[in-house]
Amino acid sequence: MYIPKVFEETDKKRIIRLVEEYAFGTLVTCYEGVPFASHLPMMIEDSEGFVISGHMARENNQWKNFEENIDVLAIFQGPHAYISPSNYESPIAPTWNYASVHLYGKCRIIEDETKLREIIESLTDKYEKHQASPWVPDYPDSLLKAIVGFELVVSRVEAKYKLSQNRPETDRKTIISKFSSTGNDDEKSIAVLMKENEL
């Protein structure tokens, strides 16, 4: 990912928070020179070692690419918002503010049924615990055979938080003020990230 130094994010806690909050990511592999992507819910299993886990349908042949032992890419797209030149004291061109994390590494297939159940249960709990009547998974063996679990062991992290760092403080404060009072969730989230940068 193209990351000018001014937009590079290196704070691991901040990166992990984005991956956890925007966990519906894109898993990209390449087979015989052709890229392939799956859109999947994933979660951080080990924040110290940076291990990402998830599962996909067995009929999705992407998991077979893992056996090639080449790097895969998991993309997590955080909030994003259009930035109008009207926010600037000296208007130039429009742009876009956003936060995105790219994680590279090797994927290993989870063969152990107990481990696969743990992945499913952890992922389900993450999204069910806020429901009025949380659903508890109880997958029969036949259903487990229809999916493939995986773990991505991350070897390289790229994080880009493009939050108007290249603009004067007055412009940044104008954007924060406007986005903080908007009805758009992405704009509000961008304002929060920008406030963190100001601190």
Q: What is the average per-residue pLDDT within 18-37?
A: 94
In whole angstroms, give the CA distance from residue 105 to residue 70.
Answer: 8
DSSP line for 79-124 = EEEEE-GGGSSS----EEEEEEEEEEEEEEEE--HHHHHHHHHHHH
In whole angstroms, give the CA distance from residue 117 to residue 10.
Answer: 33
User: Which pLDDT tens digit goes with each residue over 50-83?
Assistant: 999 999 999 999 999 998 788 999 999 999 999 9
The pLDDT value recorded for residue 111 is 85
Please indicate whether residue 83 or residue 142 has the higher confidence score (pLDDT): 83
Question: pTM of the entire structure?
Answer: 0.93
The pLDDT value recorded for residue 40 is 97
Whether the per-residue pLDDT at 139 is higher than 80: the answer is no
- In this structure, what token pair is assigned to residue 158? 């790229």
Single out the residue of 40, 48, 23 nearest to residue 126, CA to CA: 23
Percent of the chain with pLDDT over 90: 79
Give all domains of the chain, ordered by start, each with its CATH number. 5-167 (2.30.110.10)
